[in-house]
Chain A
Amino acid sequence: MDQQVRRIAARYGIDLSEEEIARIAREAEAQEKVLAALYKIDLDQTRPILGITLPRSEGARQSRRRGSKR
């Protein structure tokens, strides 16, 4: 875990002390345990919530109106 912290710190140019690296690594381990619970349920056929709301384009609206006139 502390190697991962070091990699991120290097990537962002964050100067962390050894004490800070140890602390973040410790907390990240605990975080991983919390997140592990997400893998304990059956998600077969479950689609994620992605919040995509596609507005109908003006062109599509017009062609739909034309279609309905016919």
Chain B
Amino acid sequence: MRRANTRRKPARSKIKRKTESDIRAHVDPAQVTIADLAPRVKSKKISAVELTQAFLERIRALNPGLNAYQTITEAEGLAQARKLDTDLRAGRWRGSLHGIPFSIKDNLATRGIKTTGGSKHLSDWVPDFDATVVERLKQAGAVILGKTNMHEWAAGSTTINPHYGTTANPWDKSRIAGGSSGGSAAAVAASLCLGSIGTDNAGSVRNPAALCGVVGLKATNGRVSRYGGVLGTGGFSTDHFGPFAKTVKDCALILRAIAGYDPKDPLSARETVPNYVSSLGKPVRGLRAGVIGTYFDDLMSGEVKESFAAALNQLKALGMKIVPIDIPHMDLIPAVQLATSRVENVAVAHDHLRRAPRDYSAPLLYRHIKALMIPAETYMTAQRVRRVICDEFAAALGKVDVIVAPTVGLPAETVEESRRGYVAIDGKEIPLSEERGNRGTLCTIPFNVTGLPTMSLCCGFSQTGMPIGLQIAAPPFAEALVFQVGHAYEQAARWFERKPML
């Protein structure tokens, strides 16, 4: 017996060593989430350096075909990861984001790293400071792997960038990734990072999140500091910064790290930041989801309508009540957004317009000139109409707990269709841009005008295999409720289990 035991013992320990070695060496970026990895990093089953290397390897393999990253910060990322491993060995675990690979949209200042805003004007700008969101991510232990491509000056929803190339959609590389934070959404969808930060002036987080099948959130206006954002890549009153992630839980973990008052941003809110993860898993039975009729109905293609209807059925199956709500002046939202955002953007473009007007692409130069033709009185009228609309939303949110809506009325079009300006849907040629705005943002701008916290998550796929997005909005600072409903839907529908073939 004794001999037999002696023989077996080394064999068992060999197997154990091999298993541990496998765990350490093999991290498939496509199969993990932040919530999966956090305990493994904390218990030192995997190091920040190993994680960083695994993701850098994937970036090297896949980014050339996607153009999600504009700048890859390999050396800085590895240095950060080494420091985080040293911290952990010394017993300093910084929280769930410790050692987690992130990317940052290229209109958020990163110290020592080029920040272009997707523009030619800032092609050489290397800030000597971090945006507050970047600083907070670093403090929370995130490893920054690079800067993501975006629409020129964040002024569009395709990420077809004349200066830095087109970001491809990981689900079909012939299609757009959406925008303006297209690189961030594509990077998360392709598992080239586990989280990213984008900016959302008209839907620039939620639109690409929907088209790339990931979760994207813009929190309540003021919830996340906007210090360090490139001026002119979003209106002062309509822009929001927010996270991308693969799951609602990961998104909640990121928001917790970046939210909160910032003395450097006088428009940031002093509201306390709750532990959003604690709201996940709470039952949603009895909660009321408001659905706004005509405005969104008119923007949805047949298959987006079907997916949206199926999502409503799923919410009903979870015990939620679907309640039709009315926003009487909904149709004025595009005019308010146009007058507000374009004027606020052009107000900081004077120097670039004077010094290098032709460094703007022609459509953006024309847009700025048209914005300069909007009288101050129209801007003020828009802010008064905005008050009416905000009051109408507040009244509606007195009757329901959340509002649900489609994120984008059409699945991602091809790059070719986008360049042509038309898409063939339901047997019709539909223009992608209208005078009141582009079709990619008409479903998202209501929540920029009102500043309400809104998340997009996947609610199905088109016949061409492209993701479709669902928006969930809640009263100001009720992000926890957005996460609660989003998580309940996500876990029931389980669209997150589908991955792009790359």
In angstroms, Cα B370 to Cα A1, docked, is 10
Q: Do residues A43 and B388 form an inter-chain contact, with CB atoms below 8 A?
A: yes
Interface centre among B334, B386, B435 (most CB of A within 10 A): B435
* Known A12-B354, A48-B387, A51-B237: A38·B373 in contact at CB below 8 Å: no
Q: Which residues of A contact B350 (CB under 8 A)?
A: 12
* Among candidates A14, A39, A41, residue contacting B329 with C-beta atoms closer than 8 Å: A41
A38–B267 CB distance below 8 A: no
Stretch of B35-43, B376-384, B484-492 on the interface side: B376-384
In the complex, B372 has a CB within 8 A of chain A: yes
Contact B370 A27 (CB under 8 A): yes
A38 to B332, CA, bound (A): 7
In the bound complex, what is the Cα–Cα distance between A31 and B437 (angstroms)?
10
Interface status of B30 (Cβ within 8 A of chain A): no
Residues of A within 8 A of B331 (CB): 37
- On chain A, the number of residues with a Cβ less than 8 Å from chain B's Cβ atoms is 31
Q: Which of A1, A27, A50 contacts B366 (CB 8 A)?
A: A27
Does B353 sit at the interface, judged by CB under 8 A?
A: yes
Scan residues 20-49 of chain A and give those whose CB is less than 8 A from a CB of chain B: 20, 23-24, 27-28, 30-31, 33-35, 37-39, 41, 43, 46-49
Q: Interface digits, B335-362 against A, CB 8 Å rule (1 contact, 0 not)?
A: 1101100000000001001100100001
A14 to B325 CA separation, bound complex (whole angstroms): 47
Q: Which residues of B contact A41 (CB under 8 A)?
A: 329, 332, 385, 388
Provide the residues of chain B in CB contact with A35, threshold 8 Å. 335, 338-339, 374, 378, 382
- Known contacts A14-B369, A34-B436, A38-B385; A49 and B390 CB within 8 A of each other: yes
Q: Mark A54-68, 1 if CB is under 8 A from B, else 0.
A: 010000000000000
Contact B370 A37 (CB under 8 A): no
Indicate if the CB atoms of A37 and B332 lie closer than 8 Å.
yes
Give the distance in Å from the alpha carbon of A48 to the alpha carbon of B267 in the complex: 17
B365 within 8 A of A: yes
User: Whole-angstrom distance between the alpha carbons of A62 and B489 in the complex?
Assistant: 48
Contact B381 A39 (CB under 8 A): yes
- Minimum CB–CB distance from A58 to chain B (whole Å) comes to 13
User: How far, in whole Å, are A14 and B364 apart by their CA atoms in the complex?
Assistant: 13
Tell me whether B465 is interfacial, beta carbon within 8 Å.
no
In the bound complex, CA of A12 to CA of B334 (Å)? 28
How far is the CB of B226 from the nearest CB of chain A, in Å? 12
Main secondary structure on A side of the interface with B? helix
Q: Is B324 an interface residue when CB atoms closer than 8 A count as contact?
A: no
Q: Report whether B373 and A55 are in contact in the complex, using a CB–CB cutoff of 8 Å.
A: no
Residue in contact with B267 in the complex, picked from A1, A12, A37, A53, CB distance below 8 Å: A53
Residues in A whose Cβ lies below 8 Å from that of B362:
20
Whether the pair A8, B373 counts as a contact (CB closer than 8 A) is yes
User: What is the chain B residue whose CB lies nearest that of A54?
Assistant: B266
B155: min CB distance to chain A, Å: 15
The reply to whether B366 and A38 contact each other, CB–CB distance below 8 Å, is no
A7 and B249 CA atoms in complex are apart in Å by 53
* Residue in A13, A23, A34 with the greatest tally of chain B CB atoms within 10 Å: A34
Whether A34 pairs with B338 at a CB distance below 8 angstroms is: yes
A14 contacts B370, C-beta separation under 8 Å: no
| A49 / chain B contacts, CB cutoff of 8 Å | 237, 383-384, 386-387, 390
B interface residues, Cβ below 8 angstroms from A: 222, 236-237, 266-267, 329, 331-332, 334-336, 338-339, 350, 353-354, 357, 362, 365-366, 369-370, 372-374, 378, 380-388, 390, 435-436
Contacts beyond the supplied A37-B332, A50-B383: 10 A-B pairs with Cβ under 8 Å: A4-B373, A13-B354, A37-B331, A41-B332, A41-B385, A43-B381, A43-B388, A47-B384, A49-B383, A51-B236
The 3 closest A-B pairs by CB, nearest first: A48-B383, A30-B435, A14-B357
19 pairs of residues in contact across A and B, judged by CB atoms under 8 Å: A4-B373, A5-B373, A8-B369, A8-B373, A9-B369, A12-B350, A20-B366, A24-B366, A28-B369, A31-B338, A34-B435, A34-B436, A35-B338, A35-B339, A37-B331, A38-B381, A43-B381, A48-B386, A51-B236
